[in-house]
Chain A
Amino acid sequence: MYNFEFEKPATIADAVAALGAEDAQALGGGQTLLPTMKQRLAMPTKLVSLSGIGEMQGVCSNNDGSLSIGGATTHATVAAEAAAQYPALADLASHIGDPAVRNRGTIGGSLANNDPAACYPAAALGSGATIVTNAREIAADDYFQGLFTTALEEGEIITGVRFPVPEAANYQKFLQPASRFALVGVFVAKFADGVRVAVTGASEDGVFRWSEAEQALSASFSPEAVNGLQVDPANMMGDIHGTKEYRAHLIGVLTKRAVAAAS
């Protein structure tokens, strides 16, 4: 690790100001950033910790029935506090990493990082969530822009995420055996006006919506509705844990399982 400055502001405004310094970087739970720094692959001059900002913490229900989660809320807190209102989301959070990761890692950090094998991007895209930053609100459909790439500007902070709560939802995560991130993960959410299906871990372009399945499931929310549908393996990732064809195949299997578990 190279040397760096450290700040822990108490307000979003102070954090934004601190991040104005050159090569300053936000620190969520550090579960991705710190290992990268230890390997000397990242070298921020200053880390601005978001964990001391009260307004970025916790889970609460809004009047319209949606759920707001502070950007610095840990996976463990989401697992515990979202369980009643949005069990599929809480369940997803409870299966990220191990207890140490869940007690540190944050929803904002996960979404900002947008690892192609991460879980939260599937929930955000599958729920049609809104990413709230210090500057604006971004629809999930506009937010994810490819591997480790998002709509966030330099120094922009995810202060919260607003999730519409579906009638039924489920996340199926097929583990990559070494990292235990998602080799493929599928988030299915059924809303009054249709079904959303978001797939993580699989595509060369990061998390994506499987629109054929969405149409079929919006017409009939049953596992059989997915029969015969197949994602094109060409755009899938292939590596030592799974070929393109295998990932494409798993998407179908996991989508059916998610529908079965949700209905």
Chain B
Amino acid sequence: MPKDSGIGASPKRREDLRFLTGTGNYTDDINLSGQAYVHFLRSDVAHGKINGIDTAAAAAMPGVIRIFTGADFEGVGSIPCGWQVTDRHGQPMQEPAHPVLAQGKVRYVGDAIAAVVAESREQARDAAEAIELDIEELPAVIDMKEAVKEGAPKVHDDLTSNLCYDWGFVEENKPAVEEAFANAAHVTTLELVNNRLVANPMEPRVAVGDFNRATGESTLYTTSQNPHVIRLLMGAFVLGIPEHKLRVIAPDVGGGFGTKIFHYAEEAFCTFAAKALNRAVKWTSTRSEAFMTDAHGRDHVTKIELALDAENNFTAIRTDTYANMGAYLSTFAPSVPTWLHGTLMAGNYKTPLIYVNVKAVFTNTVPVDAYRGAGRPEATFQLERVIDKAARELGVDPIALRRQNFITEFPYATPVAVEYDTGDYHATMDKLIDVADFAGFKARRAESEKNGKLRGLGVNCYIEACGIAPSNLVGQLGARAGLYESATVRVNATGGLVVMTGSHSHGQGHETSFPQVIADMIGIDESMVEIVHGDTANTPMGMGTYGSRSLAVGGSAMVRATEKIIAKAKKIAAHILEASDADIELKDGQFSVAGTDKSLAWGDVTLAAYVPHNYPLEDMEPGLEETAFYDPANFTYPSGAYACEVEVDPETGKITIERFAAADDFGNIVNPMIVDGQVHGGIGQGIGQALLEGCVYDENGQLLSASYMDYAMPRADDLPFYQVDHSCQTPCTHNPLGVKGCGEAGAIGSPPAVVNAVVDALQSAGKDVTHIDMPLTPNRVWSAMNS
């Protein structure tokens, strides 16, 4: 029986009322009195030396308040990087300065050169056009392999080369891995590209800086997934504002997908300029600016090798990856191709030896950072593609090959430093075979062939590490932040609760699912619980939302705080009921004394906490408000198996996705409808990456896919109806809810299924095609078929 409330129920998302009726409060809805507008003059060359910026004529234009250039930011800090990677030789990565406005050089198309603050947006833009630039164009480096060659132009003159780091993992494994390859019965090799993507949240970025001269307090309204992180990074490292004088508010945020995690120069600019001018300063990104300034995602070039023994057991994996950092290090960029990628290379398989090499490279392109899945899609894609290729080379069933190598005993310590707590990969594969109706595939293929189409079936597994993350562990790995989460639960006198959380909701539905958990714990109606997030002034210091961490980490903090509330409320009840607190039970919102008919309602106790007339004041403070900080003991490891069925038009190479099935193990589930939605969205983005989305620069560093005219986003009719199942549940063993996280799974698990299916379709027609790089445009498929 589906439940109608609490954990396991699917109440409609309460936030959707405001999102769907246009009554949300997004950053661009915030307009402060006396607000001025900034327009950034951005570089139209990928690499250039700034010889001069003449702002005189522009400054005299109507409405112009002030024009800022890099010179105004001397003495101001650099936009910081939040993660330091140590290379194979024990050396720290090369870390260039990242000024708020370009100083000396521009390093990508879109790099901000000057900022015009004016009375109106149009006036600011008019004046920006009147700025006279003297920029000497320099040769640009775009291709990663070219960028690391001797003599390549340097993106940063003060670094020794364009190599940010050369990372080996696990370096000590290297000789043993080489030996395993030397002794292998079979080696499968695959070279591939994980295509560069633009996140494209529906809401472009916005920042509004404000300054209160009377209090000396700065406020930044911004489109962020983690306002406290922005407060810390911008306050401590860039602008030198102590946190008690800086408030960061991220109100309703229209999608993030990772690209709104990072601290961006525009945020620092608006905060800085508001103080300098004593006026609120607003920036609203246009969609065109979003394409050339939001951190991009993925962009790996990889060679992966899989060694097998004579019985087809995986004996070793070796990978060689170039990862694009772009022109500057975005906040978490160095961690993505390393700790979020190398640690996942074991996948669902008991490969004993793994060696991952990653060269992170600076190029004259937009910075690249985490995008839904971040590192884990790249790991999953190469691993699941090479396994599929191996199965075809060996003439064995790809599912059987996977099953034979599945990890089956838990906990399982991989050779790449993580320990999976639970999972059941056979169970999700069994479930997939069922929900995807593999039994009917043959008939469907015959039907397609009758219509002149090729049909293919692709399967893959995935595992991800999320619920990011144990702070002491990530500290050792180079994180410059803790990754706990926080919650304050405030019970009001009349029994309603307000939960102030450091998690941030930008589409995930926290305002609906979090109350389900708390209401269940107390036994009250969900409508009595309100979630507050997104404002550093009224939430405890939290780390925000990314890495599928909100319920696993933030939810756990909420549970811990609520446990403290319940423990205290029981003491109050015990006092009033003249019983021992050990005898008090809380059920359905009623406190009762075990074995008696004495009871008190939740509301009686909460009232007593604030009107403490009959209250043990000598033993306990009045009030009912508790805070908890939860730092997880391990990552969580959602896993699953995905299947995709495609049709290929052999005349044009056009692919249509006919069926897509997902069998996920997310551990316990709070709101199945929201989980379905997360998986649907993730698969949509995964199919987008596999078939449509490709961010392309030309050799001079001009962004060719700079608008929706050339960057193909998936639309409803590109996507099939999905069969999604999450009934396989091995609960997480180390968090109080037993939850694993579901936000990224769809984007991680789906691209290899699509490509595997297309290869299957082409091979069914006798085409010797073993791989096609994403996006699988009709042209690429047609070329592969005809080469």
A residues sitting closer than 8 Å to B (CB atoms) are 1, 39-40, 174, 177-179, 239-243, 246, 249-250, 253
Contact = CB atoms under 8 A, between A and B. Distances in A.
B696 A178 contact: no
A236 to B, nearest CB: 12
A240 B778 CA distance: 11
Most B CB contacts (10 A, CB to CB) among A1, A243, A249 go to: A249
A39 B288 contact: yes
Contacts of A242: 777-779
Interface in B682-726: 691-692, 694, 696, 704-705, 708-713
Most B CB contacts (10 A, CB to CB) among A177, A179, A242 go to: A177
24 contacts: A1-B122, A40-B129, A174-B652, A174-B654, A174-B778, A177-B691, A177-B777, A177-B778, A178-B708, A178-B710, A178-B711, A178-B713, A179-B709, A179-B710, A239-B704, A240-B704, A240-B705, A241-B710, A242-B778, A246-B778, A246-B783, A249-B782, A250-B652, A253-B651
B696 A240 contact: yes
A70 B692 CA distance: 37
Contacts of B713: 178
A40 B779 CA distance: 33
Nearest to B714: A177
Contact of A177 (B125, B696, B712, B783): B712
A227 to B, nearest CB: 13
Contacts of B783: 243, 246
A174 B778 CA distance: 10
Contact of B712 (A1, A178, A239, A250): A178
Contact of B709 (A178, A249, A250, A253): A178
A249 B129 CA distance: 44
A179 B708 contact: yes
Contacts of A249: 782
Contacts of A253: 651-652
A204 B777 CA distance: 21
A239 B694 CA distance: 13
Contacts of A246: 778-779, 782-783
A246 to B, nearest CB: 4
Nearest to B691: A177
Main SS of the interface on chain A? loop
A240 B710 contact: yes
A240 B652 contact: no
Contacts of B691: 177
A250 B649 CA distance: 12
Contacts of A174: 652, 654, 778
A241 B779 contact: yes
A80 to B, nearest CB: 22
Nearest to B129: A40
Contacts of A39: 288
A240 B694 contact: yes
Contacts of A1: 122
B786 to A, nearest CB: 8
A118 to B, nearest CB: 13
Interface string B67-83: 00000000000000000
A174 B723 CA distance: 29
Nearest to A38: B286
A101 to B, nearest CB: 13
Contacts of A243: 779, 783
Interface string B762-784: 00000000000000011100110
Contact of A241 (B129, B651, B777, B782): B777
Interface in B276-290: 288
A148 B778 CA distance: 27
A172 to B, nearest CB: 10
Nearest to B704: A240
Nearest to A181: B709
Contacts of A241: 710, 777, 779
A239 B705 CA distance: 11
A221 to B, nearest CB: 20
A179 B705 CA distance: 11
Given A178-B712, A240-B710, A243-B779, 16 more contacts: A39-B288, A174-B654, A174-B778, A177-B777, A178-B692, A178-B705, A179-B708, A179-B709, A241-B779, A242-B779, A243-B783, A246-B778, A246-B779, A246-B783, A253-B651, A253-B652
Contacts of B654: 174
Nearest to B708: A178
